[in-house]
Amino acid sequence: MKTLAAFAALALISTGFAQEVAPEAPKYADLAAFQESSGYAIFTANNIWMMVATALVFVMHLGFATLESGLTQSKNTVNILFKNTLIPCIGLLTYAVCGFNLMYPGADYAGGWFGFAGFGVSAGNEVANLTDVYNAGYTYWTDFLFQGMFAATAATIVSGAVAERMKLSAFLVFSSLFVAIAYPITGMWKWGNGWLNNLETPFYDFAGSTLVHSVGGWGALAGVLLLGPRLGKYSNGKVRPILGHSMPLATIGVFLLWLGWFGFNGGSVLSANPALTSLVLVTTSLAAAAGGLGAALTSWVVLKKPDLSMALNGILAGLVGITAGADQMAAMSAIIIGLISGVLVVFSVIFFDKLKIDDPVGALSVHLVCGIFGTLAVGIFGNLAGGAQLMSQLTGIVAIGVFTFVFAYVVFLVLKLTMGIRVSAEEEIEGLDLGEHGNEAYPDFTPAHKS
Amino acid sequence: MKTLAAFAALALISTGFAQEVAPEAPKYADLAAFQESSGYAIFTANNIWMMVATALVFVMHLGFATLESGLTQSKNTVNILFKNTLIPCIGLLTYAVCGFNLMYPGADYAGGWFGFAGFGVSAGNEVANLTDVYNAGYTYWTDFLFQGMFAATAATIVSGAVAERMKLSAFLVFSSLFVAIAYPITGMWKWGNGWLNNLETPFYDFAGSTLVHSVGGWGALAGVLLLGPRLGKYSNGKVRPILGHSMPLATIGVFLLWLGWFGFNGGSVLSANPALTSLVLVTTSLAAAAGGLGAALTSWVVLKKPDLSMALNGILAGLVGITAGADQMAAMSAIIIGLISGVLVVFSVIFFDKLKIDDPVGALSVHLVCGIFGTLAVGIFGNLAGGAQLMSQLTGIVAIGVFTFVFAYVVFLVLKLTMGIRVSAEEEIEGLDLGEHGNEAYPDFTPAHKS
Amino acid sequence: MKTLAAFAALALISTGFAQEVAPEAPKYADLAAFQESSGYAIFTANNIWMMVATALVFVMHLGFATLESGLTQSKNTVNILFKNTLIPCIGLLTYAVCGFNLMYPGADYAGGWFGFAGFGVSAGNEVANLTDVYNAGYTYWTDFLFQGMFAATAATIVSGAVAERMKLSAFLVFSSLFVAIAYPITGMWKWGNGWLNNLETPFYDFAGSTLVHSVGGWGALAGVLLLGPRLGKYSNGKVRPILGHSMPLATIGVFLLWLGWFGFNGGSVLSANPALTSLVLVTTSLAAAAGGLGAALTSWVVLKKPDLSMALNGILAGLVGITAGADQMAAMSAIIIGLISGVLVVFSVIFFDKLKIDDPVGALSVHLVCGIFGTLAVGIFGNLAGGAQLMSQLTGIVAIGVFTFVFAYVVFLVLKLTMGIRVSAEEEIEGLDLGEHGNEAYPDFTPAHKS
């Protein structure tokens, strides 16, 4: 009930940013002038592409929900689905309350490390607001929604890694703070024109290998370390595989994530610029394809048989790997980055198990390891390759990693010491669906009067 | 076989509207002139956005199919899927035959209550047709397809409420009549420039909280009342929960519906106007998020544990609630409307069970209750708030409700007295999949050689 | 391991097309001039629509994955998913290596039968490349990606037909060669301006009833003939149905394929031309609807009960049927073509079983039979109807059919004589998931503590 009170407060805050007023009807006089101008058609086209991209990033939340539930046991499925359903809800609401204004504070910040443009979002339908300072090419509202959908993906990454043993209430508190505060602050360092964007050789992260994926990965690592592995995962020096319950769900998830990446990377052009959007979609898809093939072949060699879940994670690895430099690579470079990511993810999954770091869905390998690799790759391949760039990439990776890991570790630790972060052993064995929700995922499922 | 004959007749009519001829090749002379004009780029952009919106509304049919089958028992899954597969087929075909011309009769109607522009759809590729009187900003064909996809959603809403006990043949006859006749007539009252659009303070329903969702809800209510509850649902004054068979399917459904609503509401702007489309996507998503959070918290308090199906229905409740005024609300108003809808849906589900009105998927609570609330909300929040508006909203809700409920009740009653609307008790117990289709949903499903 | 070596070689080639260099940063001087021009807004709009279409065609791969796995047994699900995951990966990579340049060789080919523009894809961000010779209205990169997504669908069609008994390694080798060589060569005959495009009355195939669907169908037929039926399918002169394991998955697949066809056909306009794209979406959707209704009614009459899998295949049949002439039909013609396709598919499924040609998912009936019918329909209905056109359609069907069937038969035969194409009887009985992958599809699936 403590959690409930906290959320009720959050809900109240969500609705309480008082400076907001209902937008007036469009001022057609102004709009008419703008609509006559030669820039209006391109502005409209940009806005269409960004809305499409926003919808595609939204699809990623369904991708994560199906991927994570597919790769975990059916006794924890309702819990996974519930978390992944609430995360975009909480993510969008907190982004409206404070996240957006932390991430894009305008000129109003100290030293490029922190700034805040005030609670709440507000913009009328006036032309002045349509051409917002951050995105001269489309509307303020599209900007907010695209970035809000983005923000929530960082929290979703954590969800998979801590699955099957974390308390729901603690997870919801953690992810609210993570998406409302931690993600926007480090995001501002680069995308809000903060200090990383103002290095002599600016740190480069096109669509978030570091700002989104490794951020999610660091949060996940903190959680996993403080939670410990699932019961029975590591015993007598052996790794016991705890398999998922539905490979079709997992496969649906990966395809939807690939689809969503059309918007995640394609939308990060922040316009419908034909040269850049098209190139980005090509590098993104070729890296995904190479990652899938690379991981499939690697698993075939290493594990003797071609493993579906490795192929799936290989696609995601390729996607995460290309994300930092998707607009700066030739096709061949994208394929190489994807292949390396696909190989990397297989060994990384094995490596984390060696360390007894239990990550049910491979989120650390995909998002943290390949997020770091992809960020470094910007300094190794493509238009920006070079020593100075590589140093800037390292600077960004380390700075954002340290901040995010420390933030997440402290929050998880405080939660562990207060409300607790792990369910009881009984509940873990019985499943979190009954324990946390009193629901089951497949209550009336009666397959097959099999002949 | 009687049904078959009826459908064969329908199919013949579908193909028989004889005034149609193959469109001639585009008259490039005319098109060239249009393409040189300054309006052509915006016309093209509008048309792209409307085609995207059409595709997204189509996705809603998959959303309903998965949501409804997830929330019902696996012995009735084929039946649900079959209905939801046929509904968009029948909906599009009947809309081509007569629905579109009932809903948008042009100037050719009596008193704003009824009009008909003739059987069939037809338009060449000429410029004259590209700039149709109803939608000066995009093509006649896009207009038809967008509206046709819309129309079919009203019938889908009924499908869920009457699930697990209604005869397939009767359902198909009902939904054909519902989507071909009832929906377009009340739709015309507002969107076809009928009497509700010509009140002194015009009734306002941006994208169909009333015209689509409560219409579906009223149809559902008529069906549920005449069918009665499923066997064993209410006995000895107790409510026995009959749980669904797959929460992953239900979750997929809700995410797809949210995605589809980007097109349902975003496309209802009827252009790519950047100011309006962007605002509408924001209010829509914030209301969905607030609805999900509101219902999750409410269920946590009322049912003691956070319930996934309530959170899912809360998202839908928020979406239905914002639909009537999505273009007239500020962000805060959208959040408030979503939150109220989310709370409302939980109590409404409990309330209908108290009344022994058995609605397996919560369609009445989501679409009827929140559809009405959302329509009233236009008179309470946002740009149009005011007493006169509230009265017009009430007028529209009541007029459309009475017409639709009476229409649906009479059709269901006639079907009940002739072909029957409810399967036998034996079939209901065995499941409609075997009874109606001779199929099973999971015939060769053999999970787990579990270790 | 032989397979592995082959794939390693392929992977090396993929990354080895050495003429590629990282694209330079956009030459803003040139771009600025282009962006000032009156054509830039339309160019941008075209490019947006083609990128959306590309994303939708990508969705078809998920559609095939879910459809095929739904219609087959759960012991072979991982195998199906693995194939359908790798196919778009291999398809995109081989298309980058050679497919694209085989299919669109430019002026550089002999007699319209074969040409090759060299290994690899490469284009800078320069304006010159943005306005590629093949597609003056959008970018080279979008062209490549759209066509690459298309190419991979042809291989996917084969996957379903050979399911539940074909060796994974042999399938991957076959589909690599099929998509890298066979598909682009016949594709060039028409779309690369080859000899079929230069007949006196040019062969017409708008979006690939023949070039994609019947090509996939011929490949499937060759495979099915050389593989033979699944164990126990035909015994003592009887047909034993081997049912699928999840009708929800199959239904999801068909809806996603319909959705994807918005891009498959809508994108085949190769611009955002409002007149053509809108008409194409309408004919496509009406044919799908009529196909679904036609097959449902036909199954109701022939099989006595309405069969879900027939309704689903009917939708696909209607979609394949309209594909060749989607831009040349009036609404009524589209409905008629869809209806005929829907009826055809039911009898075709029964017919192939009579011939003891075992096709687990109905791919031959949908893609080969309705692909041929749809191609002929261009000469029977719509703008191009006429005897000369019908002869050209026949010419194209036969020429492409002979080439593709012979190519596929030879490849399958060589594979059969070398590495083998069929798994052992023990493996087939146990399931390919354990045999080929050592994975199961539902390892930790524990439905229902059923009350």
Evaluate whether B434 touches C305 at the Cβ level (below 8 Å).
no
The tally of CA atoms less than 13 A away on the side-chain side of residue B373 is 25
Give the minimum alpha-carbon distance from A202 to chain B in angstroms, rounded to a whole number. 32
Q: Which of C206, C276, C293, C434 is best to mutate for the B interface (most B CBs within 10 A)?
A: C293
Give the minimum alpha-carbon distance from A70 to chain B in angstroms, rounded to a whole number. 9
pLDDT digits (tens, 9 = 90+) for A78-95: 999 999 999 999 999 999
Q: Is C422 helix (H, G, I), strand (E, B) or coil?
A: strand
Tokens of A84: 């992944």
Q: Is B168 on the interface with C (CB under 8 A)?
A: yes
> Does the pLDDT value for residue B214 go beyond 50?
yes
CB contact under 8 A, B289 and A4: no
pLDDT digits (tens, 9 = 90+) for B172-189: 999 999 999 999 999 999
Complex ipTM tops 0.90: yes
CB contact under 8 A, A139 and B305: no
d(CA B27, CA C229): 53
- The set of residues, in sequence order, having a beta carbon less than 8 Å from that of C259 and lying 6+ positions away, is B55, B58, B59, B62, C56, C59, C63
CB contact under 8 A, B44 and C301: no
Give chain B's largest Cα–Cα span.
76
Query: Does residue B23 belong to any structural domain of this protein?
Result: no
CB contact under 8 A, A272 and C47: yes
Please classify residue B435 by burial: count the beta carbons closer than 10 Å to its beta carbon, then call 0-12 exposed, 13-18 middle and 19+ buried.
buried
A277 vs C contacts (CB less than 8 Å): 47, 51
Please classify residue B240 by burial: count the beta carbons closer than 10 Å to its beta carbon, then call 0-12 exposed, 13-18 middle and 19+ buried.
exposed
DSSP label at B305?
Answer: S
**A353-377 CB burial, b ≥16 within 10 A, e <16:** beeebbbbbbbbbbbbbbbbbbbbb
Query: Does residue A5 belong to any structural domain of this protein?
Result: no
Q: How many residues does chain B have?
A: 451
CB contact under 8 A, B289 and A11: no
d(CA A306, CA A300): 4
pLDDT bin (cut points 50, 70, 90) of residue B221 is very high
Pair type for strands A238-239 and C238-239: unpaired
CB contact under 8 A, A339 and C443: no
d(CA C55, CA A266): 11
CA-nearest of C125, C124, C103 to C114 is: C103
Q: Residue written as tokens 């009954």?
A: A434
pLDDT at B140: 84
B contact residues 362-421, partner C, Cβ 8 Å cutoff? none
Q: What is the DSSP string of B421-439?
A: SB--HHHHHH-HIIIIIS-
Q: Is A54 helix (H, G, I), strand (E, B) or coil?
A: helix
Mean pLDDT, residues A169-179 taken together: 97
CB contact under 8 A, C278 and B92: no
B89 vs C contacts (CB less than 8 Å): 288-290, 292-293, 296, 315
Nearest CB among B49, B289, B329 relative to A89 is that of: B289
pLDDT digits (tens, 9 = 90+) for B289-348: 999 999 999 999 999 999 999 999 999 999 999 999 999 998 899 999 999 999 999 999
Torsion of CA A368, A373, A374, A378, to 10 degrees: 140
pLDDT at C109: 65
d(CA C355, CA B246): 38
> Does the pLDDT value for residue B131 go beyond 70?
no
Q: Poorest-confidence range of A31-35, A161-165, A336-340, B412-416? A: A31-35
Query: For chain C (length 451 residues), average pLDDT per consecutive 10?
Result: 47 37 41 72 94 98 98 97 97 94 77 76 53 62 93 92 97 97 96 94 97 98 98 91 96 98 96 90 97 98 95 98 95 95 98 96 97 98 94 98 98 98 97 94 77 39
Q: Which of C34, C44, C46, C58 is best to mutate for the A interface (most A CBs within 10 A)?
A: C44
Q: Is A138 on the interface with B (CB under 8 A)?
A: yes
Mean pLDDT, residues A433-437 taken together: 95
pLDDT at B24: 39
pLDDT at A108: 61
pLDDT at A107: 65
B276 vs A contacts (CB less than 8 Å): 26, 125
pLDDT at A6: 46
Tokens of A75: 């006794």
CB contact under 8 A, B330 and A23: yes
Beta bridge mates, A238: A235
d(CA C123, CA C238): 57
Query: Does residue C208 belong to any structural domain of this protein?
Result: yes
d(CA B267, CA B327): 11
Residue of B nearest to A66 (CA): B248
Nearest CB among C85, C122, C139 relative to A331 is that of: C122
Mean pLDDT, residues B66-72 taken together: 97
The tally of CA atoms less than 13 A away on the side-chain side of residue B313 is 32
Evaluate whether B321 touches B291 at the Cβ level (below 8 Å).
yes
| Domain residue limits at C154 | 41-436
CB contact under 8 A, B89 and C248: no
**More confidently predicted of A236 and B417:** B417
Residue C201: count other Cβ atoms within 10 Å of its Cβ. Answer: 16
Tokens of C68: 């095929």
**More confidently predicted of B26 and C140:** C140
- The set of residues, in sequence order, having a beta carbon less than 8 Å from that of C133 and lying 6+ positions away, is C106
Q: Is C239 helix (H, G, I), strand (E, B) or coil?
A: strand
Q: Is B134 helix (H, G, I), strand (E, B) or coil?
A: coil
> Does the pLDDT value for residue B117 go beyond 80?
no
Residue of B nearest to A272 (CA): B45
pLDDT digits (tens, 9 = 90+) for B38-58: 788 898 999 999 999 999 999
Query: Does residue B344 belong to any structural domain of this protein?
Result: yes
Q: What is the distance of C-alpha B176 from the center of its chain?
A: 14
Tokens of B418: 């002739």
Give the minimum alpha-carbon distance from A56 to chain B in angstroms, rounded to a whole number. 9
**More confidently predicted of B33 and B333:** B333
C contact residues 308-367, partner B, Cβ 8 Å cutoff? 308-309, 311-312, 315, 328-333, 335-336, 339
**Residue C398, CA distances (Å) to C153, C186, C352, C401, C403 in order:** 21, 12, 20, 5, 8
**More confidently predicted of B10 and C251:** C251
Q: What is the distance of C-alpha C281 from the center of its chain?
A: 18
CB contact under 8 A, B251 and A85: yes
Q: Is C52 on the interface with A (CB under 8 A)?
A: yes
C contact residues 9-48, partner B, Cβ 8 Å cutoff? 41-42, 45, 48
Q: Is C159 on the interface with A (CB under 8 A)?
A: no
Query: Does residue C16 belong to any structural domain of this protein?
Result: no
The tally of CA atoms less than 13 A away on the side-chain side of residue C296 is 30
Q: Which of A11-15, A123-127, C373-377 has the highest mean pLDDT?
A: C373-377
Give the minimum alpha-carbon distance from B440 to chain A in angstroms, rounded to a whole number. 7
- State the Cα angle at B417 between B173 and B94, rounded to 5°: 15
CA-nearest of A96, B370, A271, B100 to C40 is: A271
Tokens of B310: 């309530």
CA-nearest of B339, B212, B248 to B288 is: B339
Q: Is A251 on the interface with B (CB under 8 A)?
A: no
Mean pLDDT, residues A241-248 taken together: 95
- Please provide the distance, in angstroms rounded to a whole number, between the alpha carbons at the two ends of chain A: 50
CB contact under 8 A, C77 and A247: yes
CB contact under 8 A, A248 and C92: no
Q: Is B76 on the interface with A (CB under 8 A)?
A: no
Q: Phi-psi category of A237—alpha, beta or left, where left has phi over 0 and alpha has psi -120 to 50?
A: left
CB contact under 8 A, C438 and A307: yes
pLDDT at B381: 93
CB contact under 8 A, A330 and C449: no
Query: Does residue A3 belong to any structural domain of this protein?
Result: no
Q: Poorest-confidence range of A270-274, B109-113, C228-232? A: B109-113
pLDDT at A15: 39
A125 vs B contacts (CB less than 8 Å): 275-276, 279
CB contact under 8 A, B383 and A24: yes
pLDDT bin (cut points 50, 70, 90) of residue B251 is very high
d(CA A227, CA A364): 15
Q: Is A299 on the interface with C (CB under 8 A)?
A: no
Share of chain B above pLDDT 70, in %: 87
Residue of B nearest to A446 (CA): B74
pLDDT at B451: 39
Evaluate whether C140 touches C123 at the Cβ level (below 8 Å).
yes
**More confidently predicted of A132 and A440:** A440
d(CA C290, CA C302): 18
Helices (runs of H) and strands (runs of E) counted in chain B: 19, 4
Q: What is the DSSP string of A76-135?
A: GHHHHHHHHHHHHHHHHHHIIIIIHHHH--TT-EETTTEE---SS----S-HHHHS-SS-
Q: Residue written as tokens 């070398």?
A: C418
CB contact under 8 A, B43 and C443: no
d(CA C14, CA C11): 5
A contact chains, 3+ CB pairs < 8 A? B, C
Q: What is the distance of C-alpha B400 from the center of its chain?
A: 15
Query: Does residue C443 belong to any structural domain of this protein?
Result: no
CATH number of the domain where residue B398 is located: 1.10.3430.10
CA-nearest of C313, C297, C342, C252 to B168 is: C297
Q: Is C436 on the interface with A (CB under 8 A)?
A: yes
CB contact under 8 A, A296 and C90: no
C339 vs B contacts (CB less than 8 Å): 11, 15
Query: Does residue A246 belong to any structural domain of this protein?
Result: yes
Q: Count the domains in chain B.
A: 1
Helices (runs of H) and strands (runs of E) counted in chain A: 19, 4
Beta bridge mates, C239: C234
CA-nearest of A276, A47, B50 to C35 is: A276
Nearest CB among C41, C444, C448 relative to A42 is that of: C41
Q: Is A444 helix (H, G, I), strand (E, B) or coil?
A: coil
B52 vs A contacts (CB less than 8 Å): 48, 52
Taking the model in full, what pTM does it have?
Answer: 0.93
pLDDT digits (tens, 9 = 90+) for A297-325: 999 999 999 999 999 999 999 999 999 99
A130 vs B contacts (CB less than 8 Å): 274-275
- The set of residues, in sequence order, having a beta carbon less than 8 Å from that of A202 and lying 6+ positions away, is A196, A392
Give chain A's largest Cα–Cα span.
76
pLDDT at A188: 94
pLDDT bin (cut points 50, 70, 90) of residue B386 is very high
A85 vs B contacts (CB less than 8 Å): 251, 254-255, 292, 308, 311-312, 315
Nearest CB among C48, C73, C308 relative to B444 is that of: C73
CB contact under 8 A, C248 and B81: yes
Q: Is B20 helix (H, G, I), strand (E, B) or coil?
A: coil
